[in-house]
Structure 1
Amino acid sequence: MLTSSDDWLNLLWALKSFYWASGRQYALCIHDDGSLEDDHRATLQEHFPDARLIEREVADARVIPSLDEYPKAKAFRQENHLAPKLFDFRAYLESDRMLLLDSDVLFFDEPIELLRRIEDPTYQKNSVNRDMDTAYTVDPVDVHAQFGFEPVPQFNSGLGLIHRDSLRLDWIEVFLELPDIRSHFWRIEQTLFALCSSRYGVELLPESYDVHLGKGIRGPVRHYVGAVRHLMYDEGIRRLVASNMLQRQNGLSPIFCP
């Protein structure tokens, strides 16, 4: 996960809800975008003592020189605050696959299909939640003309399974040559994930994982994108707090400890 001084508290809720709902003990790596304060990092380490917490200066020293052979990728990594999701996650990954998770995602029940795809060694596709619309910085016609494939529609890079081998630096370097790919500051990261995944092999998660803008929790997980971020607190965290109270009333260990 990549986090910041604005999002680190949301990240706590996202992670606590995931570990509670999934019952898993996946290894955790948290990347600091450079804005975390000492007390933020201390709190994260207190709640997740086994996690690796990668400070931005440390990551810069490791990742940026590794991109010397890919000047467009290197420039993108230096300029865009979301670029570590592509390059740093890959550089620090200690497995052949990862769970890609943004700080605005909450889990309410076991995400059975997501876990199945993550844990099935024969499942060799990337798999993410479906966005409300296709939000890329490139024209699919240009992609097909240059590379012979079309990007999967409605790919959202906030939640899903990503294979390390899909994030090929040589692919990213040539994708960065596409017209207008730098036209939107935050959509470029999602666009590059979608392009890499479409070339590698991709399958979107079932409908119950879809991003949506209305009220209501429709599945085991909800991604509270910017337009509905207020619902993360009013709806999502409210639901989790109620679950925590029920756990205490029933004499069970609480989901979220203060």
Structure 2
Amino acid sequence: MLPRIVDWSWPLGKEIAGAPPIHVLTSGKDWRLAAWMLASWLQFSEHAWPIFIHDDGTLPKEASETLGKLLPGARIIDRREADAAVGPLLHAFPFCADFRKLHPLALKLFDVTHFTPGGRFLLFDSDLLFFNYPREILDWVAGGADECWFNEDAREGSLINAAEARGELGIKIWSRVNGGLCLLAKSAIDLDLCDRTLAQTSILSGDPWRIAQTLHMLCAARHGKGGLLPRTYEVSLGKRSAGNAISRHYVRAVRDRFFAEGLESLNTIFFPLETA
């Protein structure tokens, strides 16, 4: 079912004036998941959006060409372009620079912020899918507030506990932040805070897949505006999502459900004549 996304076509919908861009970091392994994710977002948000697709360094030419055809107007930023633009900006933040060189997920933090033209942006993971109208997100878009919002994790994922965050950084952490769906104010992203966190705390000893998520959480908590989206923006470990789920982030433990549940549901919407 995964390759069928090449047969999908852009739904009708006008872009919201001044809409914040959608960013997704993807790879040679996951780009088709990202295509399904973006298609589901466009389907259920009922609007067109500025889209930035970030290559983690493994995106093949076929993927870039296909994504360009599926998503006219999307900007695809290859890794060489990103390195040339962002690398020099991190000279003053050596621990951030080292983290970016070591792990591609760092691009979600540094590159997305740099390439965002306005003051706010949405950041979606490739393994996220939408199933209903995302009213709360569109209210955030329309409201213009410089708040940061995340979906709620199934369990605590921070690599820094409350005592360490308070003692080393003077920050009261936000609990159970998941970085698969983020609504972010650009002003919240503090490179000095990120550099100090990487230098002074135990964050680098934890799961490398959660470092950028923890840094996003710390920046948002320091910013002090926003919180967690309703649980209808689901992160769960069960076989099936709730019947009222607006979206589901299929984290590593349930990645198989992206295909067995998520694509099965969307296939009947995207290709109704073939699945009738």
Q: TM-score, with normalisation over the residues of structure 1?
A: 0.92
The 5 A counterparts of 1:164-243 are 164-183=186-205, 184-201=207-224, 202-218=226-242, 219-243=245-269
Equivalents in 1 of 2:41, 2:270: separation in Å? 14
User: Which residue is equivalent to 1:40?
Assistant: 63
1:145 matches 2:171: no
Alpha-carbon distance, 1:137 to partner: 1.7
Give the aligned residue type for 1:210: E
Q: 1:72 to 1:203 in 2, by over 3 A?
A: same
Alpha-carbon distance, 1:249 to partner: 9.0
The 5 A counterparts of 1:1-258 are 1-121=24-144, 123-183=145-205, 184-201=207-224, 202-218=226-242, 219-246=245-272
Indicate the SS of the match to 2:182. strand
Indicate the SS of the match to 1:46. helix
Q: 1:249 to 1:225 in 2, by over 3 A?
A: closer
Alpha-carbon distance, 1:248 to partner: 7.6
- What's the CA shift string for 1:1-35, capped at 9, x where partnerless? 10000100000100000000001211000000010
Equivalents in 2 of 1:180, 1:187: separation in Å? 13
Equivalents in 1 of 2:164, 2:48: separation in Å? 42
5+ unaligned residues in a row in structure 1: which ranges? Answer: 251-258
- What's the CA shift string for 1:16-74, capped at 9, x where partnerless? 00000001211000000010111111101111120110000111011011111111111
Give the aligned residue type for 2:240: G
Indicate the SS of the match to 1:117. helix
5+ unaligned residues in a row in structure 2: which ranges? Answer: 1-23
Equivalents in 2 of 1:150, 1:15: separation in Å? 33
User: Which residue is equivalent to 1:253?
Assistant: none
Indicate the SS of the match to 2:201. coil
Equivalents in 2 of 1:119, 1:177: separation in Å? 38
Indicate the SS of the match to 1:222. strand
| Maintained 8 Å contact 1:209/1:221 | yes
Indicate the SS of the match to 2:171. coil
Equivalents in 1 of 2:251, 2:45: separation in Å? 22
| Maintained 8 Å contact 2:105/2:209 | yes
User: Which residue is equivalent to 2:19?
Assistant: none
- What's the CA shift string for 1:91-114, capped at 9, x where partnerless? 100111111100011111111112
- What's the CA shift string for 1:139-173, capped at 9, x where partnerless? 22011112322210000011020111111211211
Count residues with an aligned counterpart: 249
Equivalents in 2 of 1:230, 1:110: separation in Å? 24
| Maintained 8 Å contact 2:171/2:218 | no
| Maintained 8 Å contact 1:138/1:178 | no
| Maintained 8 Å contact 2:120/2:146 | no
| Maintained 8 Å contact 1:99/1:118 | no
Q: TM-score, with normalisation over the residues of structure 2?
A: 0.86
Q: 1:242 to 1:5 in 2, by over 3 A?
A: same
Equivalents in 2 of 1:40, 1:30: separation in Å? 11
Indicate the SS of the match to 1:217. coil
Q: 1:72 to 1:239 in 2, by over 3 A?
A: same
Equivalents in 1 of 2:70, 2:107: separation in Å? 23
